[in-house]
Structure 1
Amino acid sequence: MQKRVNGEIGQTPRKAVWKKNKATLWYYPAKRKRFNTPLFLVYSLLNQSYILDLAPGMSMIEAFTKSGYDVYLLDFGKPGYEDGDTSLDDYILKYIKKGVERALHHSRTENLTVIGYCLGGTLALIFAALARESIKNLILFAPPLDFSEPPILSKWAEALKKEEISLDSLIDEYRVIPAKLVEFGMRTATSPFTFDKLLSRIGPQEDDVYSLKKQLVGEWVNGHIPFAGAALKQLMNDLGKENKLIKNKLKINGQKVDLRKLTTNLLVVSTTEDLIVPEEMTKPLMNIVASIDKTYKRVSGGHISLALKGEIPEFLSEWLEGRSERFE
């Protein structure tokens, strides 16, 4: 558990089952196991993953374990200067792929449900398109996928696409972008969106629970982590500038990421008040994949509100239960 001024975060019982460099694969056993199909969570590279287990009553992971699912969370950790050459290929193949293999071995199952949140959803989709055999279900929460019309810093994005500016040399100089610079970049990119607007979308504002949630989310928002330079350049150039992922032109370790060949059960979720990843960055995926069982769901809330409800929304519970193997 991690300490905070007002108490502890990440209180759902867990244990580490695999580590690589700064990354840790955490295992959260079900309170009372009802399903054999475990959940494998992939979070973003921009923030700390504890937002998925913020506190009792406001934890997505706690809600999953209470519903009878074993949960695995891949925490990438905080890269140091020595990790500047860590690429997108590394995150997909050396971390997500290896983490999934370890989760399958630990759970003694042949497949699992992969759940990606925000940029973690982008990474999860790339992995799923390359390694379909071990994935029974794929759930993506607000993943940025289509960068043809970015909602923030549109002039900067257009300048990057036209090669009027380049940040590669700056990234090379830093090797790993410091957390403070990542925070500055995110605040610049999301203005005029304010922290108060973000918080207004996490729930009712009239009780002590909201006050605690506001304080904890505030600490998390200000807790950005360093970003490996090699991966950032790939994301900015291959995805942001050239939009290769949604165009089926992205390659990972020389292998083409062809979304048209993705056939796994798919659920994609966006929220009505998402200030960071609006649905036009997410929904185009539905017309590309070959999945027969695919669902797009738009729900009320903001970018992180689903992670803080403390319970599994009914639509998600029904979708997941119907596609998970029962525990006898």
Structure 2
Amino acid sequence: MKFKKLSLLILVVLIIIAGVVAVQYFTGGNSQSNYNSQTAGSVVYIENGVSGVVTINDPFLNRTTAITVIYYPMDTGTGFIVTNNGYIITALHVVGDLKALDKQQLKILSSSDIERYTEMAAVKGYIDQYNPELVSELGTSSADPNSTTNALIQRGLLSVSSTKQVIKVKVPNIDQKFTATLVDVGNPNIGEDVALLKLNTNLNNLPTLNISSKKPTILEKVHMYGYPGSNSTNSSFNQQELKPSISNGFLTTETAKNSTNSNNNFNIQSIFENLVNWFTISSTSQTVANSSIYYGTTAETTKGESGGPVMDSQNNVLGIIIFGVESSDLFKQQIKITSSLFMSSDYIVQICKKNNVSINVV
């Protein structure tokens, strides 16, 4: 019996592999042929950062210095405009806590998180500008900014006057610089990686995207837009010409995930598990309790593209890019069964409805 089940799974995988090869052959894989300038004009670049004022008492230089952190960017991501007056959808982790993301968990930035990131930014700025020897003088590690910050706090040498989260947004084809307010987020406890932002602007003629009301289907062709991140510490926010890249592919799997079991290490075993989950969900047409539905695609995305739109063939938003799947598994690389994950437009509709934001659902 087990042999029959395994044979069936292998047969399914072989069928999907054949589909992958055929679609890649006839569609040209991740070509730029489906680039839509109107869609790209609504896809925004996002920077998540902090600002504030921190006072440092340096006993080695016998000086007290107030460090003003005007703006310290921590990470970048992508979003897209859904209303003319500037409501934006992105992924929760783009504007959330980076340390939680390292543990594959979703968490909004608390006031203490914002304070800690501001403290570390101020300490770094102080060391760079005033006392490069502070790390060795305190006996802390230069590789761990936390250790120096903790040492200053423990000795009563650091105090915080003010801190806040600062979300910056660059809209294509508009020179004006925007900040945004975090309005609401999905439920992080069940893996709802979605956030709603509002641009701090009086503009009411911004380009928007239509949201699809259709359920994504296996082998459906998709186009993903996003701004690839950079390993450089320099901000890309000031670039005049900022255009999102596009990746084309098709939908391969449907699986239930939550914040505790999300796993981006896809191997042959996880492919089988995803296929089983897909058959289970498709046959029952029910959402698995205490989890969210994620979709796998062959479209390749990278760090920084999270929060970008997943478009269908009619250029309607089918979902939100969550993350790209990086794997050293040779089998996975060869067939590209899953290269990125996204959440469906259902979560966009839900969070906008909850906050009385009127969007165009088609």
TM class by shorter chain equals under 0.3
Q: Please state which structure has a larger fraction of its residues in strand.
A: 2
Q: Please state which structure has a larger fraction of its residues in helix.
A: 1
**Structure whose CA Rg is larger:** 2
Superposition TM-score, scaled by structure 1 size: 0.26
